Structure 1
Amino acid sequence: MTEKLKCLNARTGEVMEELAITPVSEIKNIVAKSHTAQKKWALLSIDERSDYIRKAYETITEDLEGFANLIHEEMGKTMPEALGEIKVYTSGLENMIKEVKEALTPEVNSAGELETTTYFDSLGVCASITPWNFPMGMPHTLMMPSLMAGNTIVFKPSEEVTLIGLAYAKYLNKFLPEDVLQVVVGAGEQGKALVEADVQLVTFTGSQRTGKNILETGAKDLKRVILELGGKDALIVMDDVDIDSASKFATINSFRNCGQVCVSTEKILVTDKNHDIFVEKLVERAKRLEVSSLINKTQKNHVLAQIDDAMKKGAKMVLGDPSKDEKNFLSPVVLTNVTNDMDIMIDETFGPVACITKVNDLDHAVELANEGEYALGSVIFGNDKEQAKNVARRLKAGMIGINKSCGGVKGSPWVGAGQSGYNFHGSSAGHRMFTQVRIVTA
């Protein structure tokens, strides 16, 4: 009897659809089909491959409301957030195509009469295992450069957003040649089998434990592995800060997507000088936010357990009353007097909680920002940019923003340090992660 996966509406808990889970025994055959398709796909030019993708993205744009509503229901985003996710990536496609094409253009170096050409060839078959929090954005980010490079893909969306993953693949497969993109339905068992299969590259965004298992498995065959494994991002509020700007950023970055963002602000570090007014303005802004849904009950229970632990250890809840929130919904929570002996200061929360810690000075703020094993992003707000830059260079995070989010301008890598990642994507160097480098000298 075929096993079924129940696809749930994150907002209501109702079953939207039951899907047949891909048998583990079938994955080897699926990957073999990808290898067959890859031979022809790699022979096309990058312009030809990009044209297939352009046509597919036109159909996404034409079905904007329908696709957004599916994200709204299965993942739980608000409709504005769902629409925003789709628009960001569809509108950014041309820029990505341009970036990838430039990155993969052969380079020539000369020495005397000798000339060496560096080529960026396709790798083969890519296993793309994506998370549920950005169910279009993450597949787009990790699959488009790979397809443009001439790889074929076996795509396993998170079991929490399988309907969205299938819909996204369906848009693409209206135009892509057969078996260039295939989808595996399932959870950990299917992901493990896919990593163990004859794939040349694995991209994964998710838990640190799973990421380390993937890296260990991939090492046996020297597979290329790209991992993003979570964060515990800090916001440092300097004494000379524009409080309105800092509190606005903190509100957006703590609560967007119900806090389910890898670079959400999860610890806010502010001195006594600005503490009270910062808290006041943050609470004022957070009260006006639309209440959103977490992905499932398990995630909500995790967030509630962290809040409960913090309250027992002395944190003060100045906004929020989780007892009033039904199903997977959770209103914004603001905690003050948060200390580094609390779980919520150490482990990733992935929920709508702003945690504020009063620090003695910038040195103390840097110390707390760097505590823990995660090092994905951090943000500093302050008017003295030179001082802020000096603070930034003392932080261990892979991405640091000053008076803005931690992501860089177009062409910059998306990169975590420490236990937050392994390899990276974005930028010329990141796009080349999806290729095999070869040189020819004559």
Structure 2
Amino acid sequence: MTDSQTTVGPLGTNPTAPAPAGVRTAADVVTPEVVAQLTRGVVGSGRTANHTPFTGEKLADLPESTPEDVATAFERARAAQPTWAATPVRQRAAVLLRFHDLVLQRQAEILDLIQLETGKARLHAHEEVQAVAVVARHYGRKAPSYLRPKRHTGAVPVLTKVSELRQPRGVVGHISPWNYPLELSVGDALPAFVTGNAVVMKPDTETALTALWARDLLIEAGLPAEVFQVVLGDGPVVGPAVVKHADYVSFTGSTRTGREVAQAAAARLIGVTLELGGKNAMLVLHDADIEKAAAGAARACFSSAGQLCISIERLYVHESVADAFVERFAARTKALRLGSALAYGADMGSLVGEAQLETVKRHVEEAVAKGAKLVAGGVHRPDIGPLFYEPTILEGVEAPMAVCTEETFGPVVSLYRFTEEEEAIGLANATPYGLNSSVWTRDAKRGHQVAARLRTGTVNINEGYASAYGSVQSPMGGMKDSGLGRRHGSEGILKYTEGQTIAQQRLMPIGPAFGMDDEKYAAFMSRSLRVMKSLHLR
């Protein structure tokens, strides 16, 4: 038995043993009554099921949608959308604020569901509650100002009166993944609703109960039920049907699938937002606070067992502090507690599925076979649950090891040493991805200078991912192969609208008038344009 086996996972439980008295189980949480309540909103004529990663057991039987069911869902949403769009924006925003309160009041319910469906630790499930509450509060407060009609200077000042309106797109097709089933489903849909759109959502089947719980709560908060339709089924079957009928598509998932969604949307000339893969880097500069950096790395690399698009998979550490950092980071990693209880206390949970486990094992085993060194972890832990894997640190990783360039999406990080900041910046940018990055330094000015040179949509200084993601007034999204468009801030809400310009011409037309011939009109307009420039009109 390795050191990591003896020191990681004191909270581990035997999935086949009976639950201790007072401990909630899947059967306690996912009752037939709960499933019946939540699945009322699914348009589906077939049957499917989802399972918990903790044990592999079935959680619930669920409706499965066909392409025809998807078409029906869009018909229902499209019929309901005009009435919702005609509802004053402040009333729509009030739904989000009531939803905010309900999520916080009833968080114990959703934390249980998130844990059971994703296998993540309870604290990491709570990150989703935090994220959704922040987004609901932000757009609940700010949507009226984001959507308020704006006046602009017209083509001819005084004579041309111009206003800009924001019109809803219609019915948004929303395809969300399994890893953050609350935040990436309803969290991304909230700005679509508040702008007056209806939504047809396809959550991942394995985490569908979480999305359906959120739908139920939004309806309780005042959202018309028909405005929020849900379809379930295999991605290659249901996903294209969603894109086929949508007026706009929001997709979070792999880069490969994102390209297919983008091509299908382009063929229909509809807009699309894509948040895709990442191979995110963290830079620990020579003047970093090593204790804080080690603690931050443990959070950034192993939250949700590394199944987070913005988690860190590459660590670049300055040679002068590398030994001290590795010692502290490895100690923290080996001390992480693995567990499957529906309670706080575990530091890391399970991988979500067999495919994720196989990718993690393949990346680690291939790297070690080709000469990489295991600093911590590298062990599958079926004694805790079928898909548990110890948080893992590798050193000596280099191309062509798969873990060097491919997204692992698991609790594995590769550590590299550098001597010059220029070198570290170049290595961090040497990837087709550009989603998130992190810089650790005591020098705020240097941190900002380095951050500005990293080609990622978000950069966190002295944090791994949460500070940028949680700052919802600012845009979040990927550069390069990590996606198109942004969530959060003005971009995160205006993408769900069509800009409409209304211009009213007064007194005289934009053309020859008052007896002017073409030549005199052209001379008059030329003089007018020079005057407008001298007056600094924009």
TM-score by shorter chain over 0.5: yes
Aligned partners of 2:299 and 2:464 also within 8 Å: no
Cα 1:31–1:388 change in 2 (3 A) is: same
Which digits, 9 at most, give the CA deviation of each residue in 1:205-252, with x for residues without a partner?
Answer: 001111111111111121110000111110111111111121111111
State the alpha-carbon separation in 2 of the partners of residues 79 and 86 from structure 1: 11
AA paired with 1:397?
T
Which digits, 9 at most, give the CA deviation of each residue in 1:82-121, with x for residues without a partner?
Answer: 2342244225522232233221111112352132111111
Aligned partners of 1:208 and 1:229 also within 8 Å: yes
State the alpha-carbon separation in 2 of the partners of residues 398 and 58 from structure 1: 30
Aligned equivalent of 1:6: 49
AA paired with 2:441?
G
Aligned partners of 1:319 and 1:334 also within 8 Å: yes
Aligned equivalent of 2:500: 438
CA displacement at 1:342 relative to structure 2: 1.8
Aligned partners of 2:366 and 2:402 also within 8 Å: yes
State the alpha-carbon separation in 2 of the partners of residues 400 and 84 from structure 1: 19
- 1:67 counterpart = 2:115: no
Matches within 5 A, 1:362-373: 362-373=421-432
CA displacement at 1:63 relative to structure 2: 2.5
Aligned equivalent of 2:171: 125
CA displacement at 1:321 relative to structure 2: 4.2
Q: Once structures 1 and 2 are overlaid, which stretch shifts more, 123-132 or 94-103?
A: 94-103
Aligned equivalent of 2:270: 223
- 1:352 counterpart = 2:411: yes
Aligned partners of 1:99 and 1:427 also within 8 Å: no
Aligned equivalent of 1:35: 78
Tell me the secondary structure at the aligned position of residue 269 of structure 1.
strand
Q: Once structures 1 and 2 are overlaid, which stretch shifts more, 180-189 or 339-348?
A: 339-348
- Larger strand fraction of residues: 1
Structure 2's unaligned 5+ residue stretches are: 1-43, 339-348, 505-538
- 1:85 counterpart = 2:133: no
Cα 1:340–1:273 change in 2 (3 A) is: farther
State the alpha-carbon separation in 1 of the partners of residues 225 and 380 from structure 2: 50
Aligned equivalent of 1:298: 355
State the alpha-carbon separation in 2 of the partners of residues 288 and 132 from structure 1: 27
Cα 1:324–1:12 change in 2 (3 A) is: closer
CA displacement at 1:332 relative to structure 2: 1.1
Aligned equivalent of 1:313: 370
Which digits, 9 at most, give the CA deviation of each residue in 1:155-193, with x for residues without a partner?
Answer: 111122012122221222333223100100112111111
Aligned equivalent of 2:190: 144
Tell me the secondary structure at the aligned position of residue 330 of structure 1.
coil
State the alpha-carbon separation in 1 of the partners of residues 433 and 489 from structure 2: 22
Greater Cα radius of gyration, structure 1 or 2: 2
State the alpha-carbon separation in 2 of the partners of residues 345 and 138 from structure 1: 27
Aligned equivalent of 2:460: 401
Instruction: State, as a whole percentage, how many aligned pairs show the same letter.
Output: 29
Aligned equivalent of 2:92: 49
State the alpha-carbon separation in 2 of the partners of residues 91 and 381 from structure 1: 26
CA displacement at 1:145 relative to structure 2: 0.3
Tell me the secondary structure at the aligned position of residue 255 of structure 1.
helix
Aligned equivalent of 1:337: 396
When normalised by structure 2's length, the TM-score is 0.79
Aligned equivalent of 2:31: none
Aligned equivalent of 2:239: 191
Tell me the secondary structure at the aligned position of residue 225 of structure 2.
coil
Which digits, 9 at most, give the CA deviation of each residue in 1:353-387, with x for residues without a partner?
Answer: 12101223222212211122111111111123333
Which one of 129, 135, 139 corresponds to residue 96 of structure 1? 139
- 1:201 counterpart = 2:248: yes
Aligned partners of 2:368 and 2:374 also within 8 Å: yes
Cα 1:151–1:323 change in 2 (3 A) is: closer
Aligned partners of 1:99 and 1:411 also within 8 Å: no
AA paired with 1:281?
R
Tell me the secondary structure at the aligned position of residue 293 of structure 1.
coil
When normalised by structure 1's length, the TM-score is 0.95
- 1:19 counterpart = 2:62: yes
State the alpha-carbon separation in 1 of the partners of residues 404 and 48 from structure 2: 34
Which digits, 9 at most, give the CA deviation of each residue in 1:267-307, with x for residues without a partner?
Answer: 00113211111111101111222221011111111111111
Which digits, 9 at most, give the CA deviation of each residue in 1:399-442, with x for residues without a partner?
Answer: 11222235163410002100001111211133111101001122
Q: Once structures 1 and 2 are overlaid, which stretch shifts more, 7-16 or 56-65?
A: 56-65
Which one of 229, 233, 243 corresponds to residue 280 of structure 2? 233
Q: Once structures 1 and 2 are overlaid, which stretch shifts more, 363-372 or 322-331?
A: 322-331
Structure 1's unaligned 5+ residue stretches are: none
Aligned partners of 2:45 and 2:69 also within 8 Å: no
AA paired with 2:172?
C
Aligned equivalent of 1:105: 148
State the alpha-carbon separation in 1 of the partners of residues 122 and 456 from structure 2: 32
State the alpha-carbon separation in 1 of the partners of residues 278 and 370 from structure 2: 23
Tell me the secondary structure at the aligned position of residue 86 of structure 2.
coil
Aligned equivalent of 1:265: 312
Aligned equivalent of 2:301: 254
State the alpha-carbon separation in 2 of the partners of residues 66 and 284 from structure 1: 34
State the alpha-carbon separation in 2 of the partners of residues 405 and 358 from structure 1: 18
Q: Once structures 1 and 2 are overlaid, which stretch shifts more, 321-330 or 301-310?
A: 321-330
Root mean square deviation of aligned Cα: 1.8
State the alpha-carbon separation in 1 of the partners of residues 78 and 219 from structure 2: 17
Tell me the secondary structure at the aligned position of residue 13 of structure 1.
coil
Aligned equivalent of 2:326: 279
AA paired with 1:399?
T
State the alpha-carbon separation in 2 of the partners of residues 323 and 87 from structure 1: 31
- 1:421 counterpart = 2:483: yes
Matches within 5 A, 1:380-391: 380-391=439-450
State the alpha-carbon separation in 1 of the partners of residues 282 and 434 from structure 2: 13
